[in-house]
Amino acid sequence: MAWQTLGSRDRDENVVRGAVLIVLVGALLGLTYNFWGLKSNPAYGIAWIGEQRVLESVEALMADGGAESPTSTSGPGSAFPESDEPLQIQIAGVKRLFDAGDALILDAREPDEFEAGHIAGAVNLPFSEVTPDRIEGVDSGGRPIVTYCDGECEVSMDLAWELVLQAGHRKVLVFMGGFPEWEAAGYPVGTGSGDADATSFTTYIDDPMAFFGSDDADGADGGPALPEIPEIDRPLSTELDTVKQFFDAKAAVLLDTREAEEYVEGHIPGALSYPYDRVGEDPRQLDGIDAGGRPIIAYCGGGTCEISMGVADALIARGHRKVLVFMGGFPEWEAAGYPVVRGEGPY
């Protein structure tokens, strides 16, 4: 009996030893393989440690260099950590963001409740009317988004999750106390659909000043002056409004880095098709781009925008400067209702 027990324990130890061995050999093979993969193709190799790549934003640079602006990134909103889950916020925090104008406040209740009374300046996005388009159209300009409803209710939480999961927002805060707590505290309240309906929502997105926040950014002709893009040897990220400004002024070269088929299905007018995989095969083709001192804006299909970052890096490597990556990409452009053309275009 004792002999049997001893024997089976021995064999169990063998099983454990084998398991450890398998895991070690597998992990070692995988890491070695990736080491070689990185060397063979630097642009699309996969980094050892996962890190969502974030480019410094040109708008943030502008805001720092420009006049004091209420929407500069140094407001209280920038104090909130980025998170891939909605966070809860208390009334004091909401009030601080409200006073600084440093948050997009979304009312998740139904329109009639909204009209009866809401946090002043809040935008009504009833959870019952949420569509993927509307969720993806929410642009807080990098500020936190605060959602609320009638106190302990589910819809503000649901809306917050939609913003995180569908639109990729990273600073989504849920004000659990909601409108009742806000009203009871005697804080500013707005009524009616007023200026805070879906229209002002669009106006907000289209208003370039929302990003630069400075009146003296206006040019002599009354239109907004184009931001000066620094000539540095790294790409910067940029947002929809800036891209639109450059597009309107025809003051930038636009590069579509998506697959050729996607380009044919629809692209920003005048954009050149430089699919990332072809650029990866032969980056020298980028030498043919004559920007003439204008910025080059690369865009892709949204998301984390890895592929346009890859092309942007290649542009820098081939000696181009003033390289921007339009993070929202084609989906954001299209959702904003800006011009789109189909078919083969200039290459």
- If the CB atoms of residues 161 and 187 are measured against other proteins, the closer one turns out to be 161
Measured CA to CA, the distance from residue 37 to residue 31 in angstroms comes to 10
Measured CA to CA, the distance from residue 71 to residue 85 in angstroms comes to 24
Least Å distance, CB 184 to other proteins, is: 33
Least Å distance, CB 108 to other proteins, is: 17
- If the CB atoms of residues 17 and 342 are measured against other proteins, the closer one turns out to be 17
Measured CA to CA, the distance from residue 253 to residue 272 in angstroms comes to 8
Measured CA to CA, the distance from residue 233 to residue 230 in angstroms comes to 9
H-assigned helices in 185-228: 198-206, 209-212
Nearest by Cα to 324 from 258, 259, 260, 228: 228
Measured CA to CA, the distance from residue 170 to residue 140 in angstroms comes to 11
Least Å distance, CB 29 to other proteins, is: 4
Q: Which two tokens stand for residue 56?
A: 């410094």
Q: Find all residues with CB under 8 Å of 13, minimum gap 6, and list them.
A: none
Least Å distance, CB 25 to other proteins, is: 5
- If the CB atoms of residues 17 and 234 are measured against other proteins, the closer one turns out to be 17
What is the contact surface with other proteins in residues (CB under 8 A)? 11, 14-19, 21-23, 25-27, 29-31, 33-34, 37, 44, 46-52, 84, 165
Q: Are 210 and 70 in contact (CB under 8 A)?
A: no
- If the CB atoms of residues 214 and 257 are measured against other proteins, the closer one turns out to be 257
Nearest by Cα to 182 from 144, 154, 150, 143: 150
- If the CB atoms of residues 2 and 46 are measured against other proteins, the closer one turns out to be 46
Least Å distance, CB 201 to other proteins, is: 25
Least Å distance, CB 130 to other proteins, is: 14
Least Å distance, CB 63 to other proteins, is: 27
DSSP 237-289: EE-HHHHHHHHHTT-SEEEE-S-HHHHHH-B-TT-EE--HHHHHH-GGGGGG-
- If the CB atoms of residues 82 and 152 are measured against other proteins, the closer one turns out to be 82
244 to each of 1, 60, 95, how far by Cα in Å? Answer: 82, 17, 33
Measured CA to CA, the distance from residue 256 to residue 265 in angstroms comes to 12
- If the CB atoms of residues 52 and 88 are measured against other proteins, the closer one turns out to be 52
- If the CB atoms of residues 30 and 288 are measured against other proteins, the closer one turns out to be 30
Q: What are phi and psi of 234, to 5 degrees?
A: -150, 150
- If the CB atoms of residues 165 and 341 are measured against other proteins, the closer one turns out to be 165
Measured CA to CA, the distance from residue 233 to residue 52 in angstroms comes to 21
Least Å distance, CB 331 to other proteins, is: 17
The 3-state DSSP class for residue 106 equals strand
Least Å distance, CB 4 to other proteins, is: 12
Nearest by Cα to 345 from 261, 285, 271: 271
